[in-house]
Chains A and B, each alone.
Chain A
Amino acid sequence: MSLDRIVIVGASLAGLRAAEELRARGHEGVITVVGDEPHRPYDRPPLSKQVLTGAKPPESTTLAVAAGSIDDLGLEWRLGESATGLDLADRSVLLGGGERLAFDGLVIATGATPRRLPGTDHLEGVHTLRSLDDSIAIRAALAAGPRRVVVVGAGFIGAEVAASTRSLGIEVSLIEALAVPLERSLGPEMGAVVADLHRDHGVDVHLGVGVVLIEGSDRVERIRLSDGSVLEVDLVVVGIGVSPNTEWLEGSGLTLDNGIVCDATCLAAPGVVAAGDVARWPNERFDEVMRVEHWDNAIEMGEHAARTLLGDATPYTPVPWFWSDQYDRKIQLAGLASPDDIVEVVSGRLEDRRFVAFYGRAGRIVGVLGMNQPAKVMRWRSLVETGASWSDALAVAAATD
């Protein structure tokens, strides 16, 4: 199959890294990048961290490429335009303006959109955080000196927003429906460490509590919680998870099920690959179908999908990795972690908030979690890579700590 025209939908991390890899592998044809945001690709992690605190200006988030400048890639940018449909038979992408973009190969990297709290769309002062514009808006709202900020949802985004806001000296309440922050990602024990971290920094933490009602006429004024408490508030940031951006693909013939379902090589249909937050695929290393919402995965999968598109199709079997910065703590996880895993601290102490913990399931180590221990996380990540047994992993940790 000749691939003269490649279209990439989604002008962000996964899409850009796919484009870079296509060029690095010698693809010389036309590459058109369609993105519904007006911006060139930028980096999202600073949006809940340094951009909110003001430590980094928003412009500094623009993504660079490894070799030369982004213009050297010779991409055709269609920014500020959304893809509204995919016609697999005609091999074209439909754009909002009615135009059809023909392709020989397609990379889908449309990411995910934050879920909103129902019934709040008309209220000023209720924000979600995904885009540069979202971050700039929250930053401006923080600069206006709110009395109290309520963060709804203690996942990674919510926890980071709480930390960034607290570090500006603003009062913060963090509301989480589950028993601890990050419970779904890290399990109850490690979630409890994160809850204490926030309490120690003066965050008013409400756990196991839901939002009953957000009140206000045009602006948010107060929040009623399921435990009966009422919080007076002028800024709410909602971080209750994201949904993959697949609506535009409904009826296209691609399999959609909590993301675009791909095969082990990132292929969603002949000549169509998907990557990043929007893609689900069977990771043969863990024998698990996964969709990973991490920065590093967007890069690695973008590159992998590009190679698959060019005909070099191999299974994509990463050990996922992410980090989160909260206050002066850096949390890193290599591999997987779920609430049902066994968890054991193998280095340092939880009380010091400087430790490494292993996650195990079915007799194997599956994850390495570190708080302020980057070197050890990376050293022991290889245990997950090689699929070490739980007892071997513990023995290695004891011997090399």
Chain B
Amino acid sequence: MRIVVDYDLCESNALCLTAAPEVFEVRDDDFLYVLQDEPSEELRAKVEEAVRRCPKQAIVIEG
């Protein structure tokens, strides 16, 4: 599983990080950081939830 964020869409709403804090972080500069580009399979459900909760549909899972 690979995570791709479209940074043109992302508005740092930071909802993804409540769903998958292991993978996403919005820092004090209000930018989103992906902590793991290829998280392990156990995190799939959480990452899928992050995809659903992103108000901008900015996150895509490949693979």
Q: Does A196 contact B (CB under 8 A)?
A: no
On whether the beta carbons of A24 and B53 are closer than 8 Å, the reply is no
Contact with A along B11-46 (1 / 0, CB 8 A): 111110110000000111110000000000000010
Q: Does A160 contact B (CB under 8 A)?
A: no
Residues of B within 8 A of A321 (CB): 15
Cα separation A17 to B30 with both chains bound (whole Å): 28
How far is the CB of A303 from the nearest CB of chain B, in Å?
Answer: 8
On whether the beta carbons of B15 and A296 are closer than 8 Å, the reply is yes
On whether the beta carbons of A330 and B11 are closer than 8 Å, the reply is yes
Given contacts A64-B57, A375-B30, contact A17 B52 (CB under 8 A): yes
How far is the CB of A110 from the nearest CB of chain B, in Å?
Answer: 21
Residues of B within 8 A of A372 (CB): 30
On whether the beta carbons of A374 and B55 are closer than 8 Å, the reply is no
Residues of B within 8 A of A374 (CB): 11-14, 26, 30
On whether the beta carbons of B14 and A378 are closer than 8 Å, the reply is yes
Contact-size category for A: 20 to 34
Cα separation A207 to B18 with both chains bound (whole Å): 37
Residues of B within 8 A of A45 (CB): 55
How far is the CB of A207 from the nearest CB of chain B, in Å?
Answer: 29
Contact-size category for B: 20 to 34
Could you say which of A17, A375, A378 has the most chain B C-beta atoms within 10 Å of its C-beta? A375
Cα separation A373 to B14 with both chains bound (whole Å): 10
Which residue of chain A has its CB nearest to the CB of B18? Answer: A378
Contact of B53 among A65, A296, A332 (CB under 8 A): A296
On whether the beta carbons of B26 and A378 are closer than 8 Å, the reply is yes
Q: How many A-B Cβ pairs are below 8 Å?
A: 50
Given contacts A296-B15, A374-B30, contact A66 B61 (CB under 8 A): yes
Cα separation A65 to B54 with both chains bound (whole Å): 11
On whether the beta carbons of A373 and B30 are closer than 8 Å, the reply is yes
On whether the beta carbons of B55 and A323 are closer than 8 Å, the reply is yes
Cα separation A43 to B56 with both chains bound (whole Å): 10
Q: Does A295 contact B (CB under 8 A)?
A: yes
Residues of A within 8 A of B55 (CB): 45, 295-296, 323
B-contacting residues, A307-324, CB 8 Å: 321, 323
Residues of A within 8 A of B12 (CB): 374-375
Given contacts A24-B45, A66-B48, A67-B61, contact A375 B14 (CB under 8 A): yes
Cα separation A34 to B32 with both chains bound (whole Å): 37
How far is the CB of B31 from the nearest CB of chain A, in Å?
Answer: 9
Residues of B within 8 A of A323 (CB): 13, 55
Which residue of chain B has its CB nearest to the CB of A68? Answer: B61
Residues of B within 8 A of A375 (CB): 12, 14, 26-30
How far is the CB of A332 from the nearest CB of chain B, in Å?
Answer: 7
Which residue of chain A has its CB nearest to the CB of B27? Answer: A375
Which residue of chain A has its CB nearest to the CB of B26? Answer: A375
Which residue of chain A has its CB nearest to the CB of B59? Answer: A66
A/B interface sample: 27 pairs, CB < 8 A: A20-B52, A45-B55, A64-B57, A65-B52, A66-B48, A66-B52, A66-B61, A67-B48, A295-B55, A296-B15, A296-B55, A299-B53, A300-B53, A321-B15, A323-B55, A330-B13, A332-B13, A372-B30, A374-B11, A374-B12, A374-B13, A374-B30, A375-B12, A375-B26, A375-B28, A375-B29, A375-B30
Q: A295-B55, A373-B30 are in contact. List 8 more A-B contacts (CB 8 A).
A: A43-B57, A296-B15, A296-B55, A330-B11, A330-B13, A375-B28, A375-B30, A377-B14
- Give A contacts to B, CB under 8 Å: 17, 20, 24, 43, 45, 63-67, 295-296, 299-300, 321, 323, 330, 332, 372-375, 377-378, 381
Closest 4 CB pairs of A and B: A66-B48, A66-B51, A378-B14, A375-B26
